[in-house]
A and B are shown apart, each in its own frame.
Chain A
Amino acid sequence: MAVSQRLESPPSSRTGRRPVKNVLYSQRLAPYFFIAPFVITLLAFWAVPLGRTFVMSTQEVLFGESAFVGMENYERLWRDRIFWQALFNSARYMVLTLLLLIPVPLVLAAIINSKLGSERVKNVFKSSMFVPALTSIVVAGIIFRLMFAETGTGLINQTIGLFGVDPVRWLRNDIGGLTALLTLAMWRYTGVNILYFLAGMQSIPKDYYEAASIDGAGRVQQFFKITLPNLGPTLVYVTTISIYGGLAMFLESFMLYAGNNSPNNQGLTVVGYLYRQGIEENDLGFASAVGVVLLVVIMAINLTYLAFTGTFKKEDSR
């Protein structure tokens, strides 16, 4: 730092006849120019709109006219059965995706990472499983909507037909719809999580495994005793983004049901409800209250996560 302070003066005094030149050479001012686009974005596109959401959540907004109604929107929300159903749907989806999208990719990553075949073979597996992540949710939704067709000729009904199960009208009942949603999520995100886990696994020193195998630890033991404990930060990261992703899920359902309406609202999520109230029904005050509740939940998780990773860092430095 001392060096840079000393070096700062010669160029600016050499060329610094005009104040503009001085600004361009100032190491004290430069960082503020560099981060200005972020600060402006944050204020204009995050802080101001979010502030307005809080205000609107205490108002009744109709045709551009707004009136202060205090906590009425929140009370309405509390008594709203459909909101609780949406919250339940989101939470259920989140928990189930956690249960599926962490263990399954973890095991697959461990297998890919083990000493089977050449690097090229491993790469083929890794890449093929990642390909679904390249699809937009629109394309993925179209494919899955048509694969989960009600007739016996859709791919999914054909497959269960091989086991002697009659065709299911997937999107017409709750569990069927949930199955389709989870299958879609598995398809799109398994490859992504495999990438995360593989990156984590490759940063574990090879000596650990050599030492373990000399001690006679088998593959499975090595996985539980070495791989898993050393994946800490990766696991926390993947868990956290899966929680956000799960709670904020909307488009998967939106595409699968070809719109925001599903039988008995079985596919409705919190964000879906926000979309319905705010954008389809234009009830901005009430929708803002939904948004605030979601924001509070997400930020709580966010801060917990930051605290978590903070503790990890302390452990590392010790």
Chain B
Amino acid sequence: MSAPMRTTTAVTATQASTQPRRPRPEVRSKHELPRGLFAAVQTGFLVLITLIVLAPLVAIFIATFQDGNQIIRNGLSLDIELGELSLDNYVMLFTDSGLYFRWFLNSVVLTAVQVAGTLLVSSFVAYGFAMYDFKGKNFWFITVLLLMTVPFEIMMLPLFVMVNDFGLADSYSVVVFPFLAASVTIFFFRQYFLGIPKELLEAGRVDGVTEFGIFFKIVLPIARPAIAAMAILNGMIIWNNFLWPLLVLRSAEKFTLPIGLNTLLTPHANNYELLIIGSLFSLLPVLVLFILFQRFFVAGMTAGALKG
């Protein structure tokens, strides 16, 4: 038992080192001193860009303290008129926000289920591609690569027609099932599994573990960094998923947050307060995850770009 255990730690360590660890701040060399001004200009420029990038979020944050009619009339800005700010919208959100928290809960449950399903199915498929040689492997893998870049918008109509034909609209299973074998996630897991030494599999086989047992009991537990990266990336994408649920979900009690918020954006809206504060609150879970697990975001996002 101890031998495989040691190998396991070794693998985790090598895998962890492939995630770029932040190097220690470099000691400034003599060459850099004359460039102080250049660096200052660059830093100033970055500060300016960062402020511009964050301004829209500050604007919507300010708007959560404003009256809905005022927002429709004036739009969003960075103006703060202290006299007109109030906490009414926050009180409204937590006392009288209609279906908002229903949508929030739907989004939480749907995201959790779909992320878990996607990780399980996609890593399962990826394992097949990474660890075996079989007939047709190249063909199927090229299909994975092709699908990675086909935008969903192309599939929107055919899938929509199919769902209607089978009378499956307005169900969560239709929202989830077409995307469980997600090509980007498959690709990412395959890359990760390729780095796992085959001896580990052989050790399992000698111990009499089934091929599937090897995947579930030996490989998945040491793939934790990959699972984390893909959980975060998929979580963000699924939480924000809009187009497909918009087409499929019909009844207001089943809406997810983006769909529900979108229904509030009508020209004659009388609920802009909820639209604004609800939008900001829908961003919070993703923002918190991002702040906590930034490293995994970066690893997941950039996986595709480095494959070349």
Give the B-binding residues of A (Cβ under 8 A).
1, 3-4, 7-8, 10-11, 14-15, 24-28, 30-35, 37-42, 44-46, 48-50, 52-53, 56, 108, 111-112, 114-121, 123-125, 127-132, 134-139, 141-151, 153-155, 157-158, 187, 190-192, 195-196, 199-200, 202-203, 213, 219, 232-234, 236-238, 240-241, 244-245, 247-248, 250-251, 255, 258, 271, 274-275, 278-279, 284, 287-288, 291, 294-295, 298-299, 302, 305-306, 309, 312-313
Contact = CB atoms under 8 A, between A and B. Distances in A.
A265 to B, nearest CB: 18
The CB with the most chain B CB atoms within 10 A, among A45, A129, A157, is that of A45
A222 B60 CA distance: 41
B119 interface: no
A146 B282 contact: no
Given A37-B121, A135-B240, A125 B46 contact: yes
Contacts of A50: 155, 158
7 contacts: A30-B128, A31-B133, A37-B124, A149-B75, A153-B77, A238-B305, A305-B149
B218 interface: no
Given A132-B53, A135-B283, A302-B150, 16 more contacts: A7-B205, A24-B211, A39-B140, A42-B147, A52-B161, A108-B49, A111-B46, A136-B258, A143-B57, A153-B77, A157-B75, A213-B31, A251-B242, A291-B154, A298-B151, A313-B308
Contacts of B76: 143, 146-147, 149, 154-155
A33 B215 CA distance: 12
Contacts of B286: 134
Nearest to A14: B208
B242 A138 contact: yes
Nearest to B178: A45
Contacts of A52: 158, 161-162
B302 interface: yes
Nearest to B130: A34
B293 to A, nearest CB: 12
A114 to B, nearest CB: 7
Interface residues of B, number: 112
Interface of B: 20, 22-26, 28, 31-32, 35, 38-39, 42-43, 45-46, 49-50, 53-57, 59-60, 63, 71, 73-79, 121, 124-125, 127-129, 131-134, 137, 140, 142-147, 149-151, 153-162, 177-178, 180-181, 186, 198, 202, 205-206, 208, 210-213, 215, 236, 239-240, 242-243, 247, 257-258, 261-262, 265-267, 275-276, 279-280, 282-283, 286-287, 290, 294, 297-298, 301-302, 304-308
Nearest to A290: B157
A255 B236 CA distance: 19
Contacts of A14: 208
* A-B pairs with lowest CB-CB distance, top 3: A149-B75, A233-B308, A34-B128
Given A116-B39, A125-B46, A258-B265, A41 B180 contact: yes
Contacts of B145: 306
Contacts of B151: 244-245, 247-248, 298
Given A37-B121, A151-B74, A131 B53 contact: yes
